[in-house]
Amino acid sequence: MKHLAIFVVLLYACTAPTQPPQPQVLLNEGFTIGAGKYDFYSWNVYRTGTLNVTVNADSDIYIYVVDEPNFWKYKAGETFNVLANRDKITFSNFEVEIPSKGKYYIFISNTHSVLTTKNVSLKVLYTPRSY
């Protein structure tokens, strides 16, 4: 009878439904970007998943999501590839598939503006893929 009880517990543990991964808040803050400037945030992601990005600005900004090699290309003034971007927006909510583990960047650019400082709020959620 003792072995049967252990088997039932093991069977339940193997067949019990697992909870789907819950979104993790990576960023939820407001900030100011000066005219001709940009700001960025980065995270290490340890498995594939989805970013949900919500951005609000009081005037038009650009937002990019890139992996680490492309971030350094951007900084060097080279052509770079993006996972997602939004151009001249004041509000956007979008999802980005993160294809592999690694370091990812979100940068918000106001480099197109020579006079206007922008007030921005940015919320980023990360949901790891369940296996």
The pLDDT assigned to 17 comes to: 57
The pLDDT assigned to 117 comes to: 97
Residue 8's identity, in one-letter code, is V
Helices (H), the chain: 2-15, 68-75
CATH number of 21-128: 2.60.120.680
The pLDDT assigned to 3 comes to: 40
Dist. CA 65–CA 118, nearest whole Å: 19
Mean pLDDT of successive 10-residue stretches along the chain, which has 131 residues: 40 57 93 96 94 96 97 94 96 96 96 96 94 68
What is the value of pTM for the model shown? 0.81
The pLDDT assigned to 66 comes to: 98
